[in-house]
Structure 1
Amino acid sequence: MPSASSRFNTLTLEGVGRSFGTLNALHGVDLTIRRGEFVALLGPSGCGKSTTLNCIAGLLAISGGRILLDGKRIDTLRPEERGFGMVFQNYALFPHLTVRQNIGFGLKMRGVARAETARRVDEAIRLVRLQGQEAKLPGQLSGGQQQRVAIARAVVIEPPLVLMDEPLSNLDAKLRLEMRAEIRRIHNEFGGTTIYVTHDQDEALSLADRIVVLKDGTIRQVGTPHELYESPADRDVAEFMGFRNQLSGTCLAREGKRARLGAGDAVVEGIARGALAEGAAAVAVFRPDDIAVRTDGAPGLAATVEAIEYRGREYVGTARMADGLSLIFRSEGPVGIGERVGLVPDPARVLIFPAK
């Protein structure tokens, strides 16, 4: 299948906004996506990620700004004139058409010759590894197979861009993992450009070349998976990238990139972020994975274990401090409910931000 990535160099959003009455779902979105990239739009429900995707697709009109493909404005074009491939959350397959017919539907609507349609459908079936399933109806396929049909239908038209709106959310955990690898393989083999909407940070980290984190209709940070995982720009991004524990207090000291936070009798050391000043209100954030659990009375954040779950190779627990704050931790060994523990966050993995 010819490379779709050669069809454009950059897709650019300039100050894109979208309003629904008095609600500004998007405002001032600036983003450039390069040829061949796999870009994930990541954020909680209602953050604007699907709205952004639908504006790019042309399914929603923008309220402000521009969308450009290699400098040419496309936000005035109808969806079919943009020629992008779309994979929906619910697959949107025709139940009365076979796999082959579903995949070839877009080519038929474009008036592609029968022989060329057959060749491209065969190649798309090979790409998504559905050989032998061509004559089946969607109802005879598993969820993962239906998703493959939806992807094949999107790429068979050889679009310059494939847009995917939470395509794995209806699959079980095992299938999600399998299809995650398949989607990245298909992207690499097809050689196109993909924009992928998800609320799952693991999906975004494993799939994307770059991640765009949105909240409240604005872009909070854009970067590689490594950049976002290791260096979130603010507390909101940090929370979405797995920094589930947040401890509020006062910045006791800042020396270059290091800082200390005091919260009652507890002191936490970490990496200073932003305009953090001594004596100012601050918040330390850290992941459950980055906490050592001490049961020998050693210093740490004193807490009482309230819940513990066995997860195979580890335990995941919740412990409550005297001030009522709950912290989530991971432990290699079992810890008893009601047990007093000292939780010691790794200073090299703690981030300390100014309070909002």
Structure 2
Amino acid sequence: MLLASSKFDELRLDHVTRSFGSVNALQDICLTIGKGEFIALLGPSGCGKSTALNCIAGLLAATGGSIWLDDKRIDQLKPEDRGFGMVFQSYALFPHMSVRANIGFGLKMRGTARAEIAKRVDEALALVRLEAHGHKLPGQLSGGQQQRVAIARAIVIEPPLVLMDEPLSNLDAKLRLEMRAEIRRIHNQLGATTIYVTHDQDEALSLADRIVVLRDGRIRQVGAPRDLYESPDHLDVAEFMGYRNRLTGKVTARDGDRVTVEVSSVRLAGTMRGDISVGAQAVIAARPDDVTAIDGSDNALKAIVETIEYRGREFVGTARTEGGLELIFHAPQAAAIGSTISLAVDPAHALAYAA
């Protein structure tokens, strides 16, 4: 049975920076990852998540700070001396070599005995459920199967850490869902430590024990998936976690952590994130599924429907207020394009941030 190496208790990034000329791709990154954790690095393109992963792997040198496995500094080691497993977006399989040969390549380069290679490749194939495909070439496999081979190749060396750089981005939607479940199953079965780079919030939420949100090379928030989904600390984190509606207005009342914000003469309530004073400008952030079309109400935003899409059990549309605010909303019935509707923001799930 393959078991991940337990040779460390924590990986620590201590004020890590990485610059490309005058561009600071990573700025003062401090992060501690415990043995057995599944960590997702989440953020938009160019936020520094792949740069951070490559610095951990040794494929890029940090230009400041240090990286530690317990009390051993590793940022000055070559990639091969760190012994980490890496899964790339492009699979990076040798097209002329069989699945078995691809999986066993790292062990062969380490001088592992042939019998031991065969045994561990068998175990890795069983773990990724590809026992019947070991003799095939990568080109004879589906995209999902090729990614499983890449995962098997990464874990067969029994690394202390598995690094995954957007491994599902080349797969179709159905395969992505299937492979998500497989990656988490493999992680749990191995007891491995995994760092997973993604720009997909759904992937991060479903896979990770903790999510690290990056923006412009800096860590914006670290937390459990539910914490980031329900209580993002900053407006930019909220936007990335699906709070696509942002309504700016003046705070007219405050009661504990609840505030009332007047937007286009309509009073909207939300839970305050950070400190906001009465009279100050604030932004109410809400997910599309918390903005709903309702029958006439005095305390609802009037808006003209611009688009409407059928999504199975409901409709999702965009509408614009007279003042130019765009709202993305859900509705049980289709609204006619060009019609005026009333949109209510659920106060139980709306968040308020200082503007």
Greater mean alpha carbon deviation, residues 104-113 or residues 332-341: 332-341
Q: What residue in structure 2 maps to residue 179 of structure 1?
A: 179
State the distance in 1 between where 2:291 and 2:323 align.
19
List alignment gaps of at least 5 residues for structure 2: none
The answer to whether the 8 Å contact 2:43/2:215 transfers is yes
Instruction: List aligned pairs for 1:154-303, cutoff 5 A.
Output: 154-296=154-296, 299-303=299-303
What TM-score does the superposition give when structure 1 sets the normalisation length? Answer: 0.98
CA distance in 2: counterparts of 1:38 and 1:166, whole angstroms = 14
Q: Which residue of 2 aligns with 1:40?
A: 40
Match of 1:89 in 2: 89
SS across alignment from 2:337:
coil
Q: What SS does structure 2 have at the residue aligned with 1:323?
A: coil
Inter-partner Cα distance in structure 1 for 2:249 and 2:5: 50
Q: How many Å separate the matches in 2 of 1:335 and 1:271?
A: 30
For residue 270 of structure 1, what is the amino acid of its counterpart?
G
Q: Distance in 1 between matches of 2:197 and 2:174?
A: 20
Aligned length, in residue pairs: 355
Q: Corresponding residue for 1:124?
A: 124
Contact 1:5 1:36 in 2 (8 A): no
Q: Offset of 1:3 from its aligned partner?
A: 2.7
| TM superposition shift of 1:2 | 4.3
Distance 1:52 1:305, change over 3 A: same
DSSP-derived class of the 2:313 partner: coil
SS in 2 for 1:252: strand
Amino acid in structure 1 at the alignment position of 2:177: L
In structure 1, distance between residues paired with 2:351 and 2:299: 20
Distance in 2 (CA, whole Å) between partners of 1:242 and 1:154 is 32
In the other structure, the counterpart of 1:326 is 326
- Aligned-pair CA distance for 1:172: 0.3
**Cα deviation code 1:110-155 (max 9, x no counterpart):** 0000000000000000000001101111111000000000000000
Identity, in percent, stands at 67
Asked whether the 8 Å contact 1:125–1:131 carries over to 2, the reply is: yes
Q: How does 1:65-144 map to 2 (within 5 A)?
A: 65-144=65-144
**In structure 2, what residue type is equivalent to 1:254?**
R
Structure-2 change in CA distance of 1:132 and 1:2 (3 Å): closer
CA contact (8 A) 2:100 2:134 kept: yes
Per the TM alignment, residue 297 of structure 1 is displaced from its structure 2 partner at its CA by 5.2
Give the CA deviation at 1:103. 0.3
Structure 1 window deviating more from structure 2 (306-315 vs 9-18): it is 306-315
Contact 2:29 / 2:218 at 8 angstroms: preserved in 1?
A: yes
Distance 2:73 2:264 in 1: 56
Question: For 1:169, what is the secondary structure of its paired residue?
Answer: coil
With 297-306 and 244-253 compared, the bigger mean Cα shift is at: 297-306
Q: Return the offset for 1:331.
A: 1.5
Runs ≥4 residues deviating over 3 A: 295-299
Q: Does the aligned pair in 1 maintain the 2:5–2:158 contact within 8 Å? A: no
Secondary structure, counterpart of 2:6 in structure 1: helix
Q: In 1, are the aligned partners of 2:2 and 2:123 still within 8 Å (CA)?
A: no
User: Which sections of structure 1, spanning at least 5 residues, go unmatched?
Assistant: none
Q: Distance in 2 between matches of 1:232 and 1:206?
A: 17
